[in-house]
A and B are shown apart, each in its own frame.
Chain A
Amino acid sequence: MNFITKMFDKMEPTFSEGGKLSALHSLYDGFKSFMLIPNDTAKSGVHIHDVNDSKRTMIMVVIALVPCMLFGMWNTGAQHFQAIGVEAGFWMQFWFGFLAVLPIVLVSYIVGLGIEFTVAQWKKEEIQEGFLVTGFIIPLIVPVDTPLWMIAIATAFAVIFAKEVFGGTGYNIFNVALVTRAFLFFSYPSKMSGDKVWVRTGDAFGWGGEAIDSFSCATPLGQVATGTQPDVTFFDAFMGFIPGSVGETSALCILIGAAILLCTGVASWKTMLSVFVGGALTAMAFNAWGPADNAAAQLPWFMHLVLGGFAFGAVFMATDPVTSARTETGKWIYGLLIGFMAIVIRVLNPGYAEGMMLAILLMNIFGCLIDWCVVQANINRRMKRAINK
């Protein structure tokens, strides 16, 4: 650690005002605060103190995402070797998945951080840590076969139009990673849905092979959308041995992530729980009274919770502290409505097999409104009490 501190101290004059590389000082600041604890926290006055700064919070979320990422890499490889009809061992599957997913992670980080650094430099502000999480989530919520240039464009679009124009980290109305996915979904629908994109059928860096003929890799929800019940068991879906976006398949790994987030107090258990409750209740209602010929309505409620991006969205997206509701009552309303909307979109809109993305984006808009209503209701209640006395 001492060595790193010395290295940064030595480089300081080069990057500060008047130095040779002063144009890159935001890059320097960013790496310095990433490697070391920033020195410029509040030291006096009546600020509310917390041992966590936003960097620590972000790193916690990234750590919580790691199980999903590792499992997603293994599953990518496993699905691929199943598709090409080749037996492969655990490490072979993992390394294939690693090579297939790594470029997406790199592209997402390079493009997103590149824009963040440029904007920070241009506005003469410090670099914010917000993209650490976003850049890690983006590879997890896209199909593994998405072309890299599409990811680059979508990430650039999301960072510029969903974040920077609103004022940067902490000011965005919409979840940036979800805007990336929504951009891909509406711009390149043939690469983001259907039964061809979910499993890597080509090679990765010359390794692997072509899929055998007659191979179909529709996701369970894709099968549901075509009117058939999915041919996966609850156990498979819970563990994540199914095709899907890289990080969303395994409910188990998502629960591990949820446990990390809740133990460290980063995410709100109220939002998380209420999304699951809202989704489960809605799905139960459809099971009981929904149309009998609609496969999505008849899908058991517990399957709804483990298939597709429902669990991932509930744990990592709905709880985003910037875009979700902030009042405690508001979190319940916000979460319940996300769960409700996600299932309603799945069941009633045959065009979209998965409703979680649209449900969360929709509720992002209403987050502040819910907060406002809760605060107003509180003011009115106390006002009444004061007048009655």
Chain B
Amino acid sequence: MAEKKVNPFIEPLNKNNPIAMQILGICSALAVTVEMKPAIIMGLSVTIIVALANVVISLIRNTIPNSVRIIVQLVVVAALVTVVSEFLKAFVYDVSVQLSVYIGLIITNCILMGRLEAYAMQNKPWDSFLDGLGNGCGYAIILIIVSFFRELLGSGSLLGCKIIPENWFVDNGGCYMNNGLMMMPSMALILVACVIWVHRSINKDIE
């Protein structure tokens, strides 16, 4: 089997993107993308956790008894999530409040368990680290694209700075209004669908 060696970091960024291709982690992608700042923080947190969890599991992969491997993986992820959650509470408290349960719920994010089961259990630590990093970044890219449009069209701002001039708005005599649907998760789902649409139109070779 002379399988072509794929780069574990580049592959999940595009061709095997966790959201656009594997359709994993959609739930949190809908929930945290109302504004860009929490989306970026969420993307970073997931990247760090999945990369480190991959390394840890990969290091001990030969000693984990097969029958309890899910529990071992959960313990590792739970420990990392707790550390990240406490870190966010200490240094960026407002974002941590905004993200509320979704940091804690990273533990149930399918991307994590998926990568641990599918990759870290079979591969060496360095490759696993790259794979985790790639998947986390792939997830973060989609989050940032979706939150860019949601914040721009839903609140008229980017990263908290007002982009659309104040005097365009109806209240100030203009005729523009922010789109309330953009603040709702249903529109995030449609935006994710659009991202997937564009992604598949560009990469015609993936099915």
Q: Which residues of A contact B (CB under 8 A)?
A: 147, 149-150, 161, 183, 186-191
Contacts and interface: CB of A to CB of B under 8 A. Distances in A.
Contact of B177 (A161, A183, A191): A191
Nearest to B197: A165
Contact of A149 (B175, B181, B184): B175
Q: Which of B175, B181, B182 has the most CB of A within 10 A?
A: B181
A186 B180 contact: yes
Contacts of A187: 179-182
Interface of B: 175, 177, 179-182, 184, 190
12 contacts: A147-B175, A147-B177, A149-B175, A186-B180, A186-B181, A186-B184, A187-B180, A187-B181, A188-B177, A188-B179, A188-B180, A191-B177
Contacts of B190: 161
| Top 7 A-B pairs, shortest CB-CB distance | A187-B181, A187-B179, A186-B181, A187-B180, A188-B177, A147-B175, A189-B180
A23 to B, nearest CB: 21
A147 B174 CA distance: 11
Contacts of B175: 147, 149
Contacts of A161: 190
A186 B154 CA distance: 12
A210 B77 CA distance: 64
Contacts of A188: 177, 179-180
A152 to B, nearest CB: 12
A188 B175 CA distance: 12
Nearest to B186: A186
Given A147-B177, A149-B175, 17 more contacts: A147-B175, A150-B177, A161-B190, A183-B181, A186-B180, A186-B181, A186-B184, A187-B179, A187-B180, A187-B181, A187-B182, A188-B177, A188-B179, A188-B180, A189-B180, A190-B177, A191-B177
Contacts of B179: 187-188
Contacts of B181: 183, 186-187
Nearest to A191: B177
Q: Which of B177, B182, B190 has the most CB of A within 10 A?
A: B177
A315 B180 CA distance: 30
Nearest to B180: A187
Contacts of A189: 180
Contacts of A183: 181
A295 B132 CA distance: 58
Nearest to B171: A190
Contacts of A186: 180-181, 184
A188 B170 CA distance: 11
A186 B190 CA distance: 14
Contacts of B180: 186-189
A91 B180 CA distance: 39
A283 B184 CA distance: 31
A123 to B, nearest CB: 14
A147 B175 CA distance: 8
B65 to A, nearest CB: 46
Contacts of A147: 175, 177
Contacts of B177: 147, 150, 188, 190-191
A248 B177 CA distance: 26
A183 B184 CA distance: 12
A158 to B, nearest CB: 12
A47 B42 CA distance: 58
Contacts of A191: 177
Nearest to B182: A187
Nearest to A182: B181
Contacts of B184: 186
Nearest to B175: A147
